Amino acid sequence: MPLVYITRREHFNAAHKLWNPAWSEEKNFEVFGKCANVNWHGHNYELFVTVKGQPHPDTGCIIDLKLLSSIIKRRVIEELDHKNLNLDVPFLKGVMASTENLAVAIWQQLQEEVESHGCRLHSIRLHETENNSAEYFGE
């Protein structure tokens, strides 16, 4: 039985800033530059969720893509879309809103429910801009 990887793309638009509350304003600007703008900035985030497994003989599919999309939307997109990542999101409380940390937090939001449907979560890839992205494989 072949092992196949499928990837679903979703989107969210959010505000954030890179800001360490343990530091002074000066230190934040020195380290994070314009990403520390006090009044926030924002991005169109593009999220790629990759799942692996064996295609089911009856459907040819690893997981119903409509189901995968609905899990991502309920557990991630509805929480993050048109939100402030530093202020509005329960599962990001106390998390520095870097792309790296967002990818890890999104993995944690998805793994259990996705894997309850007979496949394995393989990776979370998150693009902050067309030049910057982070990927996490659960390790």
Positions touching a copy of itself (CB under 8 A) are 2-11, 13-16, 18, 20, 22-23, 31-35, 37, 39-44, 50, 55, 58-62, 64-66, 81-84, 87-88, 95-101, 103-104, 129-137, 139
> Judged by CB, which is closer to a copy of itself: 110, or 136?
136
Which of 50, 39, 53, 41 lies closest to 14, judged by CA?
41
> Judged by CB, which is closer to a copy of itself: 8, or 113?
8
Q: Is 82 a catalytic residue?
A: yes
User: How far is the C-alpha of 43 from the C-alpha of 22, rounded, in Å?
Assistant: 25
What DSSP string runs through 10-65? EEEEEEE----TTS-HHHHHHHHGGGG-TT-EEEEEEEEEEEEEPPPTTTS-SS-H
Q: How far is the CB of 2 from a copy of itself (least distance, A)?
A: 5
Catalogue the active-site residues.
35, 82, 128
